[in-house]
Amino acid sequence: MRKPVIAGNWKMYKLLGEAVETALALKPLVANSTHCDVVIAPVFTALKTVADRLEGSNIKVAAQDCAVQNEFGAQTGEVAPVMIRDAGCSHVIIGHSERRQFFGETNESVNKKTKAALSAGLAVIVCVGESLSERESGNAESVVKSQLFGGLAGLTVSDLERIIIAYEPVWAIGTGKTATPEQAQEMHGFIRRVLAETHGAEAADSMRILYGGSVKPDNIASLMNNEDVDGALVGGASLEAGSFSRIVNYK
Ligand code: PGA
């Protein structure tokens, strides 16, 4: 059985005070949510404080990106995975479509970052997903497949134990246009078949594949109802403790 993961991606929102406030408001609301792993991803500057304030709770803290290496060095503006771990995080999101679109993230850099994050002891949420034009031209599967091949290149079956895939169709992110449960299931099933091809059926069967893109309290249950949907990566609806907790407690 795969334990679901519900992760909140706060993107570039919330000053420190508000980040702590939201995290502390969330804590009691999900304290009994043992059916899934709960993760929140605040901005870098709030990671340490939020992680400290959540210590001993069942909420895990993730960064939204990391550097390609753990070695300290002349890399102005970068944050090494080992530093993210040092700040109290257990997870990192890598390859979000906003980073691919606006900050030059490539499958190759996703792969390097993922390897560095794994060696720092972090679990990695690797994001994949096609754009609207890629879907409309019938290339959704081949795009996602090459993101998986590139992003996970060289990873072993045991590395995969700390990898979570987030399928986030770009056209569904922040648009209010969720993939239908059928569209999500179709792509999640495809992703699992690709993983079975690259790493074997057993590894593929135990991987968690999250859906992301306009997940809300009122559509989470129908998404989670699908065999290959093992959780969600939530943007907008994770910013408020009440709505995020309703997503966590979708059952
Ligand atoms: P959204 O964002 O839920 O606001 O669509 C999802 C994401 O970007 O991870």
* Domain total of the chain: 1
Q: Is the CB of 215 under 6 A from ligand 1?
A: yes
pLDDT tens per residue, range 76-126? 999 999 999 999 999 999 999 999 999 999 999 999 999 999 999 999 999
pTM (2 decimals)?
0.98
Residue 232 is part of a domain; what is its CATH number? 3.20.20.70
Reported confidence tier of residue 176, pLDDT bands at 50, 70, 90: confident
> pLDDT value at position 32?
97
Q: Which of 168, 173, 220, 233 to mutate to test the pocket of ligand 1 (most atoms within 8 A of CB)?
A: 173
Task: With beta carbons less than 8 A apart as the criterion, state whether 128 and 191 touch.
Answer: yes
Q: Which of 220, 223, 233 to mutate to test the pocket of ligand 1 (most atoms within 8 A of CB)?
A: 233
Q: Is the CB of 9 under 6 A from ligand 1?
A: yes
Tell me how far the alpha carbon of residue 250 lies from the centroid of ligand 1, in angstroms: 17
| CA 126/CA 151 separation, integer angstroms | 8
- Give the domain extent around 59: 5-248
Mean pLDDT to the nearest integer, 24-44: 98
The residue contributing the CA closest to ligand 1 atom 2 is 235
Tell me how far the alpha carbon of residue 245 lies from the centroid of ligand 1, in angstroms: 16
Q: Specify the higher pLDDT residue, 201 or 1.
A: 201
Task: With beta carbons less than 8 A apart as the criterion, state whether 96 and 63 touch.
Answer: no
Question: Among residues of the chain, what percentage have pLDDT more than 70?
Answer: 100
Find where tokens 């599967």 sit: 141
- How many of the other CB atoms lie within 10 Å of CB of 216? 16
Residues 6+ apart with CB under 8 A from 230: 2, 3, 4, 5, 188, 207, 208, 209, 210
For 61, list phi and psi in degrees, rounded to 5: -115, 135
